Chain A
C-alpha cells in the first residue's frame, strides 16, 4: 500500500521564521503535490512536481517555495512565515498512469 509520510503532525512557528515541511513517498511516484486546506475553501494547490528537480506553480504559490532533490522527497518551504499561512498542509503523490492521488496525514501549522 502506498505510504505518504509527512514529518510533522503539528507545528507552531513564529511570524518571520523559515519553515520546512517534509514529505516522503515510498511508491516511486513521479508526481508530488502540496496543498493547503482551509475551511470553506477546500484543497488549494500550492506547488506540484512531476520529476526530480522539476516544479510547477499551483494556484496559490505566493510565499512558498519547494524542493525536490530526490524522487521520493518533496519539501515545502515557507520563506518567512506569516499568520495567514496558518493552515492544514497536505502532501500527495500519484503516478501518471492511475491518476489516483495518495495523501499524507497532513501537517497543521500555526503561525503566531
Chain B
C-alpha cells in the first residue's frame, strides 16, 4: 500500500528566507504526487502536481517541487517566503481503487510558521 511521510511536523522560517518542505513516499508503481496547502479552518488548495515528465514542477504562489525517484522524495521549495505562506502543507500520493478511480493518501502535514 502507498504511504507518505512528512518528517517535519513544524517549521519556522523568517520572511524572505528560502523554504524546503520534505516529503517521502512509498509506492510500487510510478507515483503521482501532489502538494496541497491548508489555511486555518479552510479546505485544501492544490499547489502543484507531478504526473510524469519533467521532474521539476512549478505551482502556484511561487512554489516548486522536485521529484527524485532514487530518493523516493518530492520536496516542496520556495525561494522567498511571504508571511501569507503560513499554513499547513500536505504531500499526497495517488493510489488506485480496485473499482477504478483514484484515492489520495496524505502525509500528516507540516505546519509552517513565518516570522516577520
Task: Say whether A associates with B.
Answer: no
